[in-house]
Amino acid sequence: MDSTFSFSWFTIFLLFHFSDSIDTLTSTQFLSDAKNETLVSSNRDFTLGFFTTSNTSSKRYLGIWFNKIPVKRIVWVANRNDPIVTKDAVFKVNTDGNIVILSDKSATKPLWSSNISDNISTMNPTAKLLDSGNLELTVAEGSNSRKWMWQSFDYPTDTILPGMKLGLDRKTGLNRVMTSWKSEDNPAEGEYTMTLEAEGLPQFFLRQKNSDTPIWRAGPWNGVILSGVAKLATSLKTAVVDFSQFGSLFNFTYVDNKDEVYMTLTFPSSGRFRKYVMDFKGLAQQSFYHGMNANQIIYIARKKGKICSHVEKVGGKGCYVWEGELNDIKAYQDGQDFYLRVHSVELGGSKKSSRTSLNKRIPAVVIVLIAIFGVILLLSCLYACRKHTLRKGQRQSQRYRDMMLAGSDAETINDFTTADNFTDNSNIDLTFFDLETIVRATDNFSPTKRLGQGSFGPVFKGELSDGHEIAVKRLLRTSGQGISEFKNEVLLIAKLQHRNLVRLLGCCIDEEEKMLIYEYMPNKSLDYFIFDESKKSMLNWRKRHEIIVGIARGILYLHQDSRLKIIHRDLKVSNILLDKELNPKISDFGTARIFGGNQVEANTCRVVGTFGYMSPEYALDGYFSEKSDVYSFGVLLLEIISGKKNNRYFEDIPNSSLIKHVWQSWSNGRALEIADASIPDEFLPAHEVLRCIQVGLLCVQDNAADRPTMSTIVFMLSNETTLPSPKQPMVAVYRSADNTATTSTGTRSSSVNGITITDLGAR
C-alpha cells in the first residue's frame, strides 16, 4: 500500500513539476507562478515564465526572456496590459485548446488567452517554446505531423527577434507592430510604435501616439533599396540589409508579395544573442550579448534634440542624432557620405589648421558647383526626353484615331459627320494599351483566362499590373464583319458614360491585333442566370425588377440623355452584363448607329441583329428607329419574367413564339402563369408582375407608332399610372436560324449571329 502511494505521488510529481529542461506544455499540464515553474527552449537560450519588473512591484506578468544572461532581458510579454496581482496564477492549455493565464488553477475565466475562435481541444493542442524564442501552439494533423495555430511572433511587444516578422499579412489582415513599454518597469503599451506601412512605397515609421509626425523613418522601399539603412543585396521583391559595418550585427530581409509585406531579422551564427528593441523613450536600438558580461548596442533612431554623449557598456559602434528636419540614415559601405554635426569648441585647432581647412574647403566648393551643374544638365536631358516621348505618344494616338475614323463603316462615318452633337472627331478620349501590357495581363491569352466567344472574337479576363481587372475582346483576324464593328464600338462608346452601360477603358491596335479593353464584369451576362436551371433561383423578383428598370434607364440614356442619340440595334439578354452587385450593364455597341438631333428613322441595306429580338419593320424592310430598340427591350423584358428564351419556341413549337404564348396567357386571364417557376409565389407581387408583362406586350406591338418611348416605359415601370391595353401582336414566320448568305439585294445578313433574314414581301 505504501509503495503504491509513493509511486502515485512520484507520477504526479513528474506530470506537474517542471525543471528548466521542459520546453513543451500539454493539455494535462500547467505552469505555476507560486512554484516558479518555467518552460526553457531545447537549446536553453530562452525561458518562459512569470516575472515582475522590479522588487518593489506586486504586478506579475507572463513573458519570455534570455536564459543565459544574468540580467533578465524580457523579449515578449503576454498580458502586458493586464498584470496579475497575486502569485497564484497558472499558465496552461485550456479546455477549448487555447493557451491561457488563469488567476489560479481552479479558475475558469482567463486573464489572458490566445483567442483562437475554433475549438481545438480534441486535436491534442500543445504549447512549445522554440529555440528562436517563439511560443507556438500546434495541434495534431495526421499521425506524424502537427499544424501551427498561433504563435507569439505574430504579436510582438517592444522587441524583434530573429525570424519575427514586422509588417502586414494581407490574407488575414494581421498587422505586426512594435509598441514600446509605458515605462522602464511597466510593460503596458507605451507612447511609441514602429510600423511597416505598405501604402504606396513601403517604409518604416517610428511614431508617438496622437501625433501624425513621424519621429524617425527608414525608407521608402523603391524596388532596389530601403533608404536610410545600410547596404542592400536585392531583388525586386526581396532585399537583405547588411549591417556588416556595425560588426555583422544582423541582416534585414524584406518580402513583398500578394499574401504579405514584412521585414524580418536574420543573424549570422556567431553564438551571440541578438534583438532589436524600441524602448519606452522611443529609442530604437539593436543589441547583441556575447558571453555573460559583454553588451553591445547600436542606436538606430532617437528623438531629435537628444545628445549622444556615450554608448552603453563596451563595444558601442555609433549613435545617430537628428537635429532640425528628419533625414535618412546614410550608413552605406559603397562610397556614400555620412555627416556628423559637432560643436565648434570640440574641433579646437590653430591658425594653421584653419588655413588647412580653408585650402580643403576651396576644392570642395568646386566639386559642389560641378555636381550642381551636372544635376541641372541631367534634369534638362530627362525633361527633353520626356517631352519627346509624350509628343511621340500623342502622334501615335492621333494616328490610331485617324486610322479608325478613316477606315470605319461608311454608314457609321456618315453618322459621325452629320450628327449635331458629334462634329469634332478628334475629341475622342481613349487610352491606347500596348500589346505587351495586354499579353502580360491575360497570361498570353491563356485558355484559363477565356470568358467566352462571339462573332467579334474571344473574350479574355485580364489583370493589369496595378491589380485592376479587365475584360479583353480580341478581334479574330478572319472576321470580316468584326473590323467595322470594332471601329464602330470604339468611336461610339468612347463618348458614353452611364451606370447601366459597360465602360470602355481603351483599346489596343498593333498591326493585325485589334482589341477592346472593358471593365471586368464578374457575374458574366444575364442569360448565364435566367436560362440556367441551377442559377435562375439566384435572381428573385425584386432583383429581376431592378435589372429591368436598370436596362430601361440605360436605353433611355442612349436615346435621349447622352450627347449622342444612339440606336443599339442588338439588345438581347446575352448583351446585358452584370457587375458584382448584379447591376445591369448594356454592352456590345458594334452594330449601333447614331441619329442626328431631329432624325427619327433610318434605312439600311445591311440588317444586323439577333433572331427573335428584331422588330418587324427592321427585319423585313430594314427600317430602324428608337422603336426598334423598344421592341427588343419588350422581348428581353418578357424573357426576364418567364426565364424562357424567345428563340426556343421556334425550335420546340413550330409557328410559335414567346410573344404568342404571353399574349394567349394574358388574354385568357392567366398571365401570372408565365412567371418563372423558380420565383417563390410568396415573393411574387402579382400587381407588379402583371404590370411588367403588360409593358412588355406594349413594347412588342407590330406598328412602331403603337409602342411607347423609353421615357414612357421608365415612367410606367416606376409609377402606378393606368396603362393602355396592348393589341394582339402579329405571329411572324421566320426562316431557320441555320441559313446563311452574304449581303445582297433583297437579302440581309445578321453580323452578330450569322443569321440570314429574307424579305417576305407585303403582308
List the catalytic residues: 570
Is 32 in a helix, a strand, or coil? Answer: strand
Query: C-alpha dihedral over 532, 535, 541, 544, to 10 degrees?
Result: -70
Is 131 in a helix, a strand, or coil? Answer: coil
Q: Quote the distance between the C-alpha of residue 199 and its chain's center.
A: 13
| Among the listed residues 217, 204, 186, the one whose alpha carbon sits nearest the alpha carbon of residue 280 | 186
Q: How far apart are CA 470 and CA 474, in angstroms?
A: 13
The H or E element spanning position 556 is helix 541-556
Burial tier of 386 (Cβ tally within 10 Å: 0-12, 13-18, 19+): exposed
Question: What are the residues whose beta carbons fall under 8 Å from the beta carbon of 534, sequence distance 6 or more?
Answer: none
Backbone dihedral region of 467: left (phi > 0), alpha (psi from -120 to 50 degrees) or beta? left
Q: Quote the distance between the C-alpha of residue 11 and its chain's center.
A: 56
Residue 261 C-alpha cell reads as 509585406
| 178 and 76 Cβ atoms separated by less than 8 Å | no
| 380 and 372 Cβ atoms separated by less than 8 Å | no
Q: Quote the distance between the C-alpha of residue 401 and its chain's center.
A: 33
| Among the listed residues 702, 741, 737, the one whose alpha carbon sits nearest the alpha carbon of residue 611 | 737
What are the strands, taking DSSP E only, across 103-247?
112-113, 126-129, 135-141, 145-151, 159-160, 165-169, 175-176, 178-183, 186-197, 203-208, 216-218, 232-234, 238-242
Q: How far apart are CA 572 and CA 575, in angstroms?
A: 5
Residue 387 C-alpha cell reads as 517631352
